Structure 1
Amino acid sequence: MKVRGTVLAASALAVCLAAAGCGPDAGEGKGPAAKATASGPEGREPRPAASASSGPAPTSDGRTLTEAQLAEVALTTGEVPGFDIAPLPGSDERGTEKSEDEACRPITAVINGSPEPAPAATVFRTATDTREEGRDDQTVVTEILTAHRAGGAEEMMRSLREAVRACADGFRTTGEDGPSTYTDVKALPAPGAGQESLAYQVTGSLEGAPVPLVFHLVRTGSTVVTFYAADFLTGKTPEVPSALVTRQAAKLP
């Protein structure tokens, strides 16, 4: 597994997987382990998710948003204290991994930055904790906002729930840069935001060291937001800050 940058390698799902051999275990034995940032400070444990019943259930007008409309509802700098929000460079480059097990295909699709069913529109953002500027373990989270046609958002969430259960023992993929192995998949406490939410961890490796990839998803109406974080340094489960999830979910129509 190769990484081509520091912050981008840790935060940019599409950029990272589009880089040569970026998939876990790809390029194993090709040299010393690459150095990259992590998405959460060493020793930091995920904070408990907010309860889904802590307030009135959100409503939605059910619209399938255009790319421009997705950009309008995406988080911006200043909306979550301490976080700088920016478009994700290179987001037109997607991963090419294909799961050897069809049941794990939905997970692989998200890893590639191309969730299924194919969305009508997609917008990428990164959220960087500016309070941790200069730290090797600076928190950086990637957001993928996807707008779906009728039933597509619900299908995406449903298929991922099924895949998390089916692929608990891990899976293998093949791609342009060779095979990759993910050793396990496990459900995490859901964010409790939006009309529906889901969280899970997929564990890959970087030159034999475990690399946990964490995904938090929230759906409101026909829009799904996927939050992604990775830890390339400590092997600990990275954190997706709840403030990012709840604030973004509150903006979905």
Structure 2
Amino acid sequence: MRTRIRRAAVTTSGAVLVLASLAGCGSDSTTPGARAAQSATSVSGVPARPLSQAELWNAVITAEDVPGFEVDYVQSRNAPFRPGIPANRLPAVFPAACAPAYWSTQAASAYPAGARIDAMAHTTGTPEQFGNVVLTDYSATGASAAMADLRTSLKACAGAHIERHDPLAGGISFTRPTLRPGPRLGDDALTYRITQNVAGDDLDPEPLEVPMTFTVVRTGTTVVTFWNQGDATSATPAVIAPPLIPAQITKLTRFAKARHSTV
């Protein structure tokens, strides 16, 4: 029981910290990802025009979009988007090439975001299914660049121990990132698995290895990060509740197309 409580506490605190510090990260647009984004094309038909925080609320799923699920949100609907600390002022990630993979575990990147909503969904009955959904909206090229950097980072860091030399990291590091094919949705998509390593503490000195699964989909200027964590006592890969991904991407695509047709 202590293991599960500690694991939940670490994950929850990490999600809250990222809202305060990473939501508006900025970066030099001359990175490889930024250059690759210049030639990005839209497969979904959604124009590369950013959405505001208010518009993003109209694009995020609700319980009506996924029958049998409850959906909760970290942010208040009326709260304005608050840019976070620039990336060049954050503690460095080691190895440096693995920084995009590290920040992706917190649904963030080095590119400046203009809007963000964090949602958590779970079934109201059995069998229990869970999933976290984060919508982050970028500039016209930022979303494509973030995806390009993430894919490159995951390939380069397959055997790396990824960590951040910072007390706020809470003894968390990542290992064994494994890039997998993503769903055929949006303009670009990938899936990856990664192990979250949690150091022991005074209450539970045994370190934990928590399997995590992420699916990241770009539609227009919005990057949607879906993720879930497995049980630290089992090597079974974490599973994201299957209905969440198509429901969210369908709603985002429909809203973005309708919004841009009236602009």
For the criterion TM > 0.5, the same-fold answer is yes
State which of 176, 186, 190 in structure 2 corresponds to 1:198: 190
Contact 1:172 1:180 in 2 (8 A): no
Q: Which has the higher contact order (CA 8 A, sep 6+)?
A: 1
| Partner residue in 2 for 1:224 | 223
Contact 2:212 2:228 in 1 (8 A): yes
Distance in structure 2 (CA, Å) of the matches to 1:5 and 1:203: 16
Aligned-partner residue type, residue 227 of structure 1: F
How many residues align? The count is 210
Contact 1:70 1:122 in 2 (8 A): yes
Contact 2:98 2:162 in 1 (8 A): no
| Partner residue in 1 for 2:61 | 75
Q: Which runs of 5+ in 2 are unaligned?
A: 20-42, 199-205, 257-263
Aligned-partner residue type, residue 175 of structure 1: D
Shift in CA distance, 150/73, structure 1 to aligned 2, threshold 3 Å: same
Distance in structure 2 (CA, Å) of the matches to 1:248 and 1:87: 14
Contact 1:11 1:229 in 2 (8 A): no
Higher helix share: 2
What do residues 41-93 of structure 1 show as CA deviations (whole Å, max 9, x unaligned)? xxxxxxxxxxxxxxxx521032200111111100001211221111026998x
Distance apart, 1:150 and its partner CA:
1.8
Distance in structure 2 (CA, Å) of the matches to 1:154 and 1:83: 31
Distance in structure 1 (CA, Å) of the matches to 2:13 and 2:173: 20
Contact 2:130 2:241 in 1 (8 A): no
**TM-score, L = length of structure 2:** 0.69
Contact 2:107 2:225 in 1 (8 A): no
Return the index of the structure with the highest Cα Rg: 2
Residues 190-199 or 152-161, more deviating: 190-199
Distance in structure 2 (CA, Å) of the matches to 1:82 and 1:98: 41
Indicate yes or no: 2:116 matched with 1:122.
Answer: yes
Distance apart, 1:139 and its partner CA:
3.0
Distance in structure 1 (CA, Å) of the matches to 2:109 and 2:60: 17
| Partner residue in 2 for 1:175 | 166
Give the 5 Å matches for 1:20-99.
Answer: 58-88=44-74, 98-99=92-93
| Partner residue in 2 for 1:166 | 156
SS of the residue 1:109 aligns to = helix
Distance apart, 1:202 and its partner CA:
1.3
SS of the residue 1:64 aligns to = coil
Distance in structure 1 (CA, Å) of the matches to 2:171 and 2:91: 8
| Partner residue in 2 for 1:247 | 247
| Partner residue in 2 for 1:14 | 15
SS of the residue 2:243 aligns to = helix
Contact 1:203 1:212 in 2 (8 A): yes
Q: Which runs of 5+ in 1 are unaligned?
A: 19-56
**TM-score, L = length of structure 1:** 0.71
Residues 151-160 or 243-252, more deviating: 243-252
Distance apart, 1:113 and its partner CA:
4.2
Aligned-partner residue type, residue 129 of structure 2: T
Shift in CA distance, 241/97, structure 1 to aligned 2, threshold 3 Å: farther
Distance apart, 1:117 and its partner CA:
1.1
Aligned-partner residue type, residue 235 of structure 1: A
Shift in CA distance, 127/89, structure 1 to aligned 2, threshold 3 Å: same
Shift in CA distance, 127/7, structure 1 to aligned 2, threshold 3 Å: farther
